[in-house]
Amino acid sequence: MELKSGILYYTLKETAQPAETEAPRLNFSFRSMTAAGKKATVYTVTAMNDPDLVTRLHEAGVTFSENAGTGNMVLLILLQYLIPILFYVAIFSFFFRRMGKLGAGGGLMGGLGKSNARTIDGGEVKTTFADVAGQDEAKESLQEIVSYLHNPQEYTEIGARMPRGALLIGPPGTGKTLMARAVAGEAGVPFLSISGPEFVELFVGMGASKVRDLFKEAREKAPCIVFIDEIDAVGKKRDGIGGNDEREQTLNQLLSEMDGFEGNSGVVILAATNRPESLDKALLRPGRFDRRVPVELPDQGGREAILRIHCNRIKTEGPIDLSAIARITPGASGADLANVINEAALCAVRSGRHAVTQKDLEDSVDVALAGKQRKSMVISPHEKEIIAYHEVGHALVAARQKGASPVHKITIIPRTSGALGFTMQADEDERFLMDKQEAFAKIVTLTGGRAAEELCFDSVTTGASNDIEQATSIARAMITRYGMSESFGMTAFEQVVNPYLGNDTAMNCSQETAARIDREVIALIDKAYDQAKTILKDNRSKLDEIARVLIARETITGQEFMDILNAPVALPPKQEETEQE
């Protein structure tokens, strides 16, 4: 049958009856009589775009009818319009939920504005003051809060009002977050912690409602500790210009919640920031964060104690001298030191050992300061010579001056930070003051590298850029901040704007003064450079000798350096073999 075969490839379905229910689409039903005309076969097919079909069906003598399928039609239209709508709703609700999760606990609307503080129940915080080293003063201030939470009656009986909040301030990585957890651990009370940025929401008013929620939760759980980390995200000064409505509303809510506590409600609020200068005055007034707990960078003893805590968590082997490590890490924070220990452990594993040695620790300090060694870097013998002279120049100038720190190590192994070598100085004891002579000696030492290059190779290279930067900033600080210049005396022309983050300064003087300061900075550095050159000229044979040793060994210790320097006779001039190594 022509017709039958003609439509076969439209997935023709052979059924005994017109199968309306089974066909989901608008369709045709037609009957085709068999040649014998006895038994009718009913075919149901989908509509097809064929204008001649009807004609052809008539010609073939087929009985057929159009089946509009009203029920299916409604369904079809519904599907056609509903599916896309449902699809969009699904997408929107997904994104709303995501936004909600960033700020609130989830859900399309119900979750918006809900505080999502992480709550740790009393007794479950395992951190204690024993995990925090080198912050004895901070611990002492917080100890009082701990004992209040343990025993509030003692305080209420005498009529004392507990400070409502304590603000931990200090540079990043000094253990502020750790300390707050330790307070909760010591006190054994619930700990509600939230980070400042989590308050700042996309929608105005949500941050404020989160604050409300947080404090409601805190009141229910009292006695407890509420910890707001990085509070500067919400507590920034309200300056009135181009204000951030959402942030200000959140801050206002925070202020009023803090006021809303009864004297001894048992809720203690801790907060941490490394930008105290940017906080709103209202936040700092008594009755809110009336106690400031500075968490400063650790001193030498503190560094040793921090190293010990972290060192106890790893396996060591052989003699470990942590005070030696503490000595060469001035300015390191607790987080830096924790990282030094961890890097040392990783290094031991990398070299297939099962315990950390002192050498791992020392190498790890180098990695923290200058990056990993770049063994694959090929440096030409000539460049290697220049680098060696540069570094020995620093060391020699340092050693020949009063007031400069002793040399600890000189190395010319390139590092991943881009350093081609470095000279490390380390004081025996921690220094807290720097006098004018020492500050100047520092600049002279910094110029020593370039001075050696110029003296021995009559060339200047790009290698001194970091030295130049540092020398300039010391010279500038001497003149504008430390009152160490004759012509300006005790006038400050620059202020440090963020003492805990990078020490950026803001100039505060007239144009003429600025120009005079520049001239004086230049003169001071020129003077230092001349002095460095003089020192090196006077010690030329030692310079050559030590540089030769350094090229051969790549790294020499401060002791080895001093031994050569103090040896009475200089070695004979350059030997060929050492040149080629």
Interacting residue ranges for ligand ADP, rule: CB under 6 A: 132-135, 172-178, 272, 306, 309, 334-335, 338
Indicate whether 393 belongs to the interface with Zn ion (CB under 5 A). Answer: no
- DSSP for 487-549 reads TT-S---EEES-TTTTT-EEE-S-HHHHHHHHHHHHHHHHHHHHHHHHHHHHTHHHHHHHHHH
269 touches which of ligand ADP, Mg ion, Zn ion, none (CB within 5 to 8 A by kind)?
Answer: none
Q: Is 309 exposed, middle or buried (0-12, 13-18, 19+ CB in 10 A)?
A: middle
- Rounded to whole angstroms, what are the CA distances from 526 to 359, 428, 533? 39, 30, 11
CB 557 within 8 A of CB 411: no
Task: List the one residue out of 504, 511, 474, 508 whose CA is nearest residue 492.
Answer: 508
Q: Is 293 exposed, middle or buried (0-12, 13-18, 19+ CB in 10 A)?
A: buried
Smallest separation, CB 177 to Mg ion (Å): 3
Smallest separation, CB 151 to ligand ADP (Å): 27
115 touches which of ligand ADP, Mg ion, Zn ion, none (CB within 5 to 8 A by kind)?
Answer: none
> Look-up: residue for tokens 């305080």?
155
Smallest separation, CB 464 to Zn ion (Å): 5
- The answer to whether residue 391 is catalytic is yes
Smallest separation, CB 175 to ligand ADP (Å): 3
Indicate whether 453 belongs to the interface with Zn ion (CB under 5 A). Answer: no
Indicate whether 193 belongs to the interface with Mg ion (CB under 5 A). Answer: no
User: How many angstroms separate the CA atoms of 26 and 514, rounded?
Assistant: 86
By beta-carbon proximity to Mg ion, the closer residue of 195 and 531 is 195
Smallest separation, CB 330 to ligand ADP (Å): 16
By beta-carbon proximity to ligand ADP, the closer residue of 306 and 524 is 306
276 touches which of Zn ion, ligand ADP, Mg ion, none (CB within 5 to 8 A by kind)?
Answer: none
Q: At what angle do helices 436-457 and 465-480 cross, to 10 degrees?
A: 150
Query: Which residues in 465-484 contact Zn ion (CB under 5 A)?
Result: 467
Among 29, 67, 135, 177, binds Mg ion (CB under 5 A): 177
Using CB under 5 A, count the residues that bind Zn ion. Answer: 2
449 touches which of Zn ion, ligand ADP, Mg ion, none (CB within 5 to 8 A by kind)?
Answer: Zn ion
**Residue showing the smallest CB distance to Zn ion in the complex:** 449
CB under 8 Å to 167, separation ≥6 — which residues?
Answer: 231, 270, 271, 272, 273, 276, 284, 289, 291, 292, 293
DSSP, collapsed to helix, strand or coil, labels residue 204 as: coil
By beta-carbon proximity to ligand ADP, the closer residue of 185 and 558 is 185
By beta-carbon proximity to ligand ADP, the closer residue of 335 and 571 is 335
Q: From the candidates 304, 391, 454, 545, which is the catalytic residue? A: 391
User: How many angstroms separate the CA atoms of 284 and 136, rounded?
Assistant: 23
CB under 8 Å to 229, separation ≥6 — which residues?
Answer: 176, 177, 180, 193, 194, 195, 196, 271, 272
User: How many angstroms separate the CA atoms of 11 and 384, rounded?
Assistant: 80
23 touches which of ligand ADP, Zn ion, Mg ion, none (CB within 5 to 8 A by kind)?
Answer: none
By beta-carbon proximity to ligand ADP, the closer residue of 133 and 258 is 133
Query: Which residues in 111-130 contact Mg ion (CB under 5 A)?
Result: none
User: How many angstroms separate the CA atoms of 26 and 47, rounded?
Assistant: 6
Indicate whether 449 belongs to the interface with Zn ion (CB under 5 A). Answer: yes
Binding site for Zn ion (CB under 5 A): 449, 467
Binding site for Mg ion (CB under 5 A): 177
Which residues are catalytic, by number? 391
